[in-house]
């Protein structure tokens, strides 16, 4: 007699399905309008693929809170429909940050994910304005399309998105990164690296998880857990990035490794070495998994957040 | 025997007092934080003076609606305290648009209001990021500091600010402007000029008036009047700008006139000539004044909106 086993959670299929959901919705929000070149330029960068990790985190957080709510017998809400506009807004802000980062006055990159960067295709002026446009469009879409969310909660989410993206968040981190890039090894320590990345990549990743919960009306304890998980994930994501720049191979990465070292970026590897970075990463993974289990943040039968954490750490690109 | 006369409305003193109010509040919102150079760069452009016309419009609209409300015996609200965060947010967005406009890849201007442009002082990278930061900070401040406003009204105001600023508003207008700059006279007509400026300068001016009303809980009729007055004011402001570029003198303007002609900008003067532009301006003035009177939008005893309309039209710089 064969025992009936619980079906395995197929993370690959999950990722594919979720990504398609996000891509389709983004394409809908970015239907070409006048002026055509501006919308084409925005579409070019937003719809150019990518891991969509941030969107995945928002949807997973919303689902985790929904699963808990439904267990509690509260009103059944569709977490995906509620969180999808926010997930898309986050991807638009992320895409925008890459467009401006790639500009000649910042990183001066010609290629992004194996394709010419936005300004290489549309020119610098349009790339600049497409970035500006995406920043405001992201907020507009978040407000316009978030249904079944209390107005005060939605206001809090918009405010946090602006905070995560603005001078105290992503933009502030980019400036710090710029200031430290090119400096000698001795001029920065762990606190500096942590402060740069807490803004540059961390703020939006923290917001991704927190917002998924907030939109679903998560309680303060749940929000605090999501926020801490966001910190862990943001750190883990960045340390992995820094490690891949040293240990990854060009073919898998889709870009040339070694750029951090060449431009003297303030990275985790330069601050604490390869072994130190791997050690830190392993600690983050353990803490994250414990937190997810303790906070009942996994959707029953589908360890999505755990899988996303492992994915952020063990990816090869 | 001398008749007791109503005290004259002193528009100059009014402007000075209101400007000080806005400048002081902006300085407070932009208190220097880390990273210091980023905040200095944002402060440099936001606190560099200017007419503050947009902020004046928001405050005046809020006061006009408050005056009407108080007549109706409804709850007394302080329109200035309610509208000031929004007025400041608008000035920040406006400043940000000038910072990005001045960048080498767009207008490549070295001077703004007689001072070196942001990128001349802080470098292109920081000017780019300061602009991005201001865009998000404006929304954050609007949400954080608007008190005594219903959450649904505040959400509507934030959404409209994003719309007015984004690809369908200011940014879209900038792209259209860019596309038509340098083209032959025959390639554009009134509709083109109107469409460019309706986005580039009009959207934020319309929003300035509308938002002042919306934050004060104006009714639909009042909001429609404020919106139309915004259209009129936006047009009048732009036509005056275009005329001054042809008829103004360098000393009063604080910049060299004739730039529109030299760079073949799509202006009202190039579309319908100096006389045509003056005629259109005169029509806008009449329609605006009639609208203000008909809609009871003047604060009792203080014809602020009329004075602002005349100011936008009859200024010499």
Nearest-CA residue of chain A relative to B169?
A133
**Among candidate residues A16, A91, A30, the one with its CA nearest the CA of residue A58:** A91
At residue B85, the pLDDT reads 98
In 3D, which of A88, A93, A83, A80 has the Cα closest to residue A14?
A80
What ipTM does this complex have? Answer: 0.94
Euclidean distance between CA atoms A36 and A46, whole angstroms: 15
* B174/A129 touch (CB, cutoff 8 Å), yes or no: yes
What does the alpha-carbon distance between residue B163 and residue B177 come to, in Å, rounded to a whole number?
A: 18
Q: Nearest by CB to A167, which of B137, B150, B167?
A: B137
Q: Would you place residue A70 in the very low, low, confident or very high pLDDT band (cuts 50, 70, 90)?
A: low
Cβ separation A179–B132 shorter than 8 A: no
Query: What was the pLDDT predicted at B180?
Result: 84
Quote the distance between the C-alpha of residue A301 and its chain's center.
Answer: 24
Whole-number pLDDT of residue B232? 96
pLDDT digits (tens, 9 = 90+) for A110-141: 988 889 999 999 999 999 999 999 999 999 99
Average pLDDT, chain A: 91
Closest partner residue to B35 (CB to CB) among A154, A166, A175 is A175
Residues from chain B contacting residue A178 (CB–CB below 8 Å): 125-126, 129
| A-to-B residue pairs, Cβ atoms closer than 8 angstroms | 143
Give Cα A199 to chain centroid, integer Å.
12
Yes or no, beta carbons of A140 and B162 under 8 Å apart: yes
- Mark the ranges of chain B whose per-residue pLDDT is less than 70: 1-7, 70-75, 184-187, 254, 300-302
The span from the CA of A169 to the CA of A179, in Å, is 15
Residue B299 in 3-state DSSP?
Answer: strand
Secondary structure element (H or E) that encloses residue B65, with its range: helix B53-71
Which residues on chain B are in Cβ contact (under 8 Å) with A179? 35, 37
Please say whether the beta carbons of A194 and A125 come within 8 A. Answer: no
Question: Angle at Cα B55 formed by Cα B236 and Cα B241, nearest 5°?
Answer: 30
Contact (CB<8Å) A132/B171: yes
Here the tokens at position B113 are 């209001």
Q: Which of A105, A88, A82 is nearest to A50 (CA)?
A: A88
- The shortest C-alpha distance from A44 to chain B (Å) reads 15
Residue with tokens 């952020």: A312
Q: Are B302 and B13 in contact (CB under 8 A)?
A: no
pLDDT tens profile A291-315 = 999 998 887 666 899 999 999 999 8
Q: H-helix or E-strand containing A40?
A: helix A36-46
Residue ranges covered by each domain of chain B: 11-314
Q: How far apart are CA B116 and CA B102, in angstroms?
A: 10
Q: Say if strands A115-116 and B115-116 run parallel, antiparallel, or are unpaired.
A: unpaired
Superfamily of domain B11-314 in CATH is Farnesyl Diphosphate Synthase (1.10.600.10)
| Interval A171-226: pLDDT, tens | 999 999 998 887 765 567 888 899 999 999 999 999 999 999 999 999 999 999 99
Token couple for B238:
């732009």
Q: What is the pLDDT of residue A41?
A: 98
Model confidence at A278: pLDDT above 60: yes
What CA–CA distances, in Å, run from A286 to A9, A181, A202, A267? Answer: 20, 31, 19, 22
Residue pair A122/A35 in contact (Cβ under 8 Å)? The answer is: no
Give the model's pLDDT for residue A244. Answer: 92
């Amino acid at each position: 007699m064969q025992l009936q086993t619980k079906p395995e959670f197929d993370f690959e299929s999950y990722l594919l399905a979720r990504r398609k959901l996000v891509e389709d919705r983004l394409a809908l929000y970015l239907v070409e309008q006048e002026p055509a070149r501006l919308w084409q330029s925005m579409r070019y960068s937003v719809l150019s693929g990518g891991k969509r990790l941030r969107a995945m985190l928002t949807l997973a957080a919303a689902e985790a809170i929904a699963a808990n709510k439904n267990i509690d017998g509260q009103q059944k809400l569709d977490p995906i429909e509620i969180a999808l506009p926010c997930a898309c807004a986050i991807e638009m802000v992320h895409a925008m940050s890459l467009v401006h980062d790639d500009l000649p006055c910042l990183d001066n990159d010609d290629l992004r994910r194996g394709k010419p960067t936005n300004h290489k295709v549309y020119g610098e002026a349009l790339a600049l304005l497409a970035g500006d446009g995406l920043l405001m469009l992201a907020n507009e879409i978040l407000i316009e399309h978030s249904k079944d969310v209390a107005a005060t909660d939605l206001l809090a989410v918009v405010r946090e998105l602006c905070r995560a993206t603005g001078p105290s968040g992503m933009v502030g981190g980019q400036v710090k990164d710029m200031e430290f890039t090119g400096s000698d090894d001795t001029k920065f320590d762990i606190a500096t690296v942590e402060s740069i990345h807490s803004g540059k990549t961390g703020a939006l990743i923290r917001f991704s998880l927190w917002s998924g919960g907030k939109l679903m009306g998560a309680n303060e304890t749940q929000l605090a857990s999501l926020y801490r998980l966001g910190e862990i994930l943001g750190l883990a994501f960045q340390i992995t990035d820094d490690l891949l720049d040293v240990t990854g191979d060009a073919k898998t990465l889709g870009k040339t490794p070694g750029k951090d070292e060449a431009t003297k970026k303030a990275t985790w590897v330069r601050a604490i070495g390869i072994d130190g970075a791997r050690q830190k990463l392993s600690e983050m993974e353990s803490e994250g998994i414990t937190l997810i289990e303790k906070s009942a943040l996994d959707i029953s039968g589908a360890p999505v957040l755990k899988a996303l954490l492992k994915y952020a750490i063990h990816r090869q690109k």
